[in-house]
A and B are shown apart, each in its own frame.
Chain A
């Protein structure tokens, strides 16, 4: 056990919760929300990995003493942008599905079995 348990736990809980939502919900919009929650969890996990106790943002002006790891921050920036792109992509497919089926329920969409 260490001080990070809470952060790691929250991150994994968000990932599991997100997958849960994506797997059990029938509404496509809710599934996409689940995927977004999962991505948030992954981002939290990455940031937590780079945390250094007492560190501040890695901007090098005169007053800093200790800074956190800059790499996970850069990775999360990329991961967030990718998450946005995937969400936009998913929503545009969903708009089209709604147009064709007049429903967002995956049970009502023919052939859509898992």
Chain B
């Protein structure tokens, strides 16, 4: 029997176990983390498969909701759970051959708990429990960002902490407002009672929730922390920010705004803020001289694009947004991990230092180009299909202004990424040779394989997105599932 609780229980078990044995046997964290996260992924995948037929609900403490906390896995959360756990697993695989940050045992404890928090955000059906998991993810992220203890990482960490604390306090204010009106904390129960509560309170709560989760999903103007955090963190952690933490924030944003507060204003706000983020971040990325910061801005831009497409709110648009989210996670994680390998070997950070690296190291160059071309939506890569469906779903709604803005941003994106690729393949006799550990390259090769397979046959994965977007589109089925069942 698979139970969503197992993901939480096993992660906690792993984390406490590391704490228990680390004073006696050093340097076991790496392997325990790998095994724990692998087991999480196994449970997550079987849950996701099961949820496509019938959604899985688990109660805690032996009482039915709304009297106790419940965990729900239906297709929409299943897709996000799969993204988060797969990326987490690949990152822990990468760290098997790559040195972790010091002190290592504590670092891997934080990594496990971070993934646990992200999967908790995705599975929970209770508003306050969401806050608790949100804080678990956030606190472990502050620590993971600043654990390198360099100036930049500490700065990134403290900025992230200050902004995110304000965001989470606003979320608590929203919880207090909603609880005061509905007298319950279960998300589905609140959604069911929403038509009967005061409209203006609902609106204020909606805005507070929007601000709180814009912080976490890196939406302008609440993303001041993001470039510094990405730049200061270790490369594996930058990958974690792009592939796990921001995706969990995105999930919470979409789940709450679609299920809880289905207001007409939603679509406008998401589109406006999303597209603004996309354009500003892409233009900022253009100016960057450091590779990691450039990738950071591109990451923020992509999150903006995904949020804007979610904002359109039709089923094809939702499908496109989920697809783009997956593609972005895969590409960006691969890029950050590759940059991590380059930094570990050569210690270079600037764009110009990459001159000729791709020509000298064919495997590195190939993996870099695959990830970039996927992000740009080059035909016959997975990214092509998601970009295409974005354009089609936007055009179909007659949102031509949005369409042209997306195209503008995309052109900027193509420009700086192609410039980066040109630098990679420039003729340079002095380019250094890189020792690539196969185990280290393994997760990236896996992602490259995913990009190509999906690129050739997108039908392998689109039915999953179809189900997920139907699940989030029909909020009443979610309410019935939890309250009626």
User: Are any A and B Cβ atoms less than 8 Å apart in their complex?
Assistant: yes
Q: Which A residues are closer than 8 A to B by beta carbons?
A: 15, 19, 22, 28, 31, 35, 38-39, 42, 45-46, 49, 71-72, 75, 78-79, 82, 85-86, 89-90, 93-94, 96-97, 100-101, 109-112, 114
B contact residues around A19 at 8 Å (CB): 166
Q: What does DSSP make chain A's interface, helix, strand, loop or mixed?
A: helix
How many angstroms between the C-alpha atoms of A90 and B157 in the bound complex? 9
B contact residues around A71 at 8 Å (CB): 179, 185
How many angstroms between the C-alpha atoms of A45 and B427 in the bound complex? 64
Nearest residue, chain B, Cβ from A78? B132
Q: Distance (Å) between the CB of B14 and the closest chain A CB?
A: 20
Cβ A100 vs Cβ B154 within 8 A: yes
Cβ B155 vs Cβ A109 within 8 A: yes
A contact residues around B158 at 8 Å (CB): 28, 90, 93-94, 97
Cβ A49 vs Cβ B179 within 8 A: yes
A contact residues around B139 at 8 Å (CB): 85-86, 89
Q: Distance (Å) between the CB of B313 and the closest chain A CB?
A: 31
* Max chain A C-beta neighbours (<10 A), residue from B151, B176, B228: B176
Chain A interface: which of B142-150, B262-270, B317-325? B142-150
Instruction: List 26 interface pairs A-B (beta carbons < 8 Å), by A numbering.
Output: A15-B169, A15-B173, A22-B166, A42-B172, A42-B173, A42-B176, A45-B172, A45-B173, A49-B176, A49-B180, A75-B128, A75-B175, A78-B128, A79-B172, A86-B135, A89-B143, A93-B146, A93-B157, A93-B161, A96-B149, A97-B154, A100-B154, A101-B151, A111-B151, A112-B155, A112-B159
A contact residues around B152 at 8 Å (CB): 111
Cβ A93 vs Cβ B179 within 8 A: no
Nearest residue, chain B, Cβ from A74? B128
Contact with A along B63-100 (1 / 0, CB 8 A): 00000000000000000000000000000000000000
Known contacts A71-B185, A86-B165, A93-B161, then 20 further A-B pairs from the complex at CB < 8 Å, ordered by chain A residue = A19-B166, A22-B166, A35-B162, A35-B166, A38-B166, A46-B172, A46-B176, A49-B180, A85-B135, A85-B139, A90-B158, A90-B165, A93-B158, A94-B158, A100-B151, A100-B154, A110-B151, A111-B155, A112-B155, A112-B159
Q: Does B55 contact A (CB under 8 A)?
A: no
Q: Which B residues are closer than 8 A to A by beta carbons?
A: 128, 132, 135, 139, 142-143, 146, 149, 151-152, 154-155, 157-159, 161-162, 165-166, 169, 172-173, 175-176, 179-180, 185, 224, 228
| In the complex with contacts A49-B176, A109-B155, A82-B166 CB distance below 8 A | no
B contact residues around A100 at 8 Å (CB): 151, 154
Q: Distance (Å) between the CB of B349 and the closest chain A CB?
A: 14
Q: What number of residue pairs across chains A and B have CB atoms under 8 A from each other?
A: 82
How many angstroms between the C-alpha atoms of A61 and B146 in the bound complex? 49
A contact residues around B142 at 8 Å (CB): 89-90, 93
Nearest residue, chain A, Cβ from B231? A111
Cβ B179 vs Cβ A72 within 8 A: yes
B contact residues around A94 at 8 Å (CB): 158
How many angstroms between the C-alpha atoms of A71 and B224 in the bound complex? 35
A contact residues around B166 at 8 Å (CB): 19, 22, 35, 38
How many angstroms between the C-alpha atoms of A103 and B87 in the bound complex? 38
Q: Distance (Å) between the CB of A58 and the closest chain B CB?
A: 15
How many angstroms between the C-alpha atoms of A101 and B155 in the bound complex? 11
Q: Distance (Å) between the CB of B387 and the closest chain A CB?
A: 34
How many angstroms between the C-alpha atoms of A82 and B128 in the bound complex? 12
B contact residues around A49 at 8 Å (CB): 176, 179-180
B contact residues around A85 at 8 Å (CB): 135, 139
| In the complex with contacts A45-B176, A85-B139, A22-B162 CB distance below 8 A | yes
Nearest residue, chain B, Cβ from A87? B165
How many angstroms between the C-alpha atoms of A15 and B171 in the bound complex? 12
Cβ A93 vs Cβ B154 within 8 A: yes
Cβ B172 vs Cβ A90 within 8 A: no
Q: Distance (Å) between the CB of A4 and the closest chain B CB?
A: 10
Q: Distance (Å) between the CB of B395 and the closest chain A CB?
A: 38
List the 4 shortest-distance A-B pairs measured between CB atoms, nearest first: A49-B180, A42-B172, A45-B176, A82-B135
How many angstroms between the C-alpha atoms of A94 and B162 in the bound complex? 12
Q: Distance (Å) between the CB of B348 and the closest chain A CB?
A: 19
How many angstroms between the C-alpha atoms of A78 and B127 in the bound complex? 13
Cβ B173 vs Cβ A96 within 8 A: no
A contact residues around B175 at 8 Å (CB): 46, 75
How many angstroms between the C-alpha atoms of A111 and B175 in the bound complex? 36
How many angstroms between the C-alpha atoms of A46 and B146 in the bound complex? 32
How many angstroms between the C-alpha atoms of A89 and B165 in the bound complex? 11
Cβ A31 vs Cβ B162 within 8 A: yes
B contact residues around A90 at 8 Å (CB): 142, 158, 161-162, 165
How many angstroms between the C-alpha atoms of A22 and B163 in the bound complex? 10
Cβ B155 vs Cβ A42 within 8 A: no
| In the complex with contacts A71-B185, A82-B135, A86-B135, A39-B169 CB distance below 8 A | yes
Q: Distance (Å) between the CB of B398 and the closest chain A CB?
A: 39
A contact residues around B176 at 8 Å (CB): 42, 45-46, 49, 72
Cβ B173 vs Cβ A35 within 8 A: no
Q: Distance (Å) between the CB of B284 and the closest chain A CB?
A: 13
B contact residues around A42 at 8 Å (CB): 169, 172-173, 176
* Max chain A C-beta neighbours (<10 A), residue from B151, B162, B228: B162
B contact residues around A72 at 8 Å (CB): 176, 179
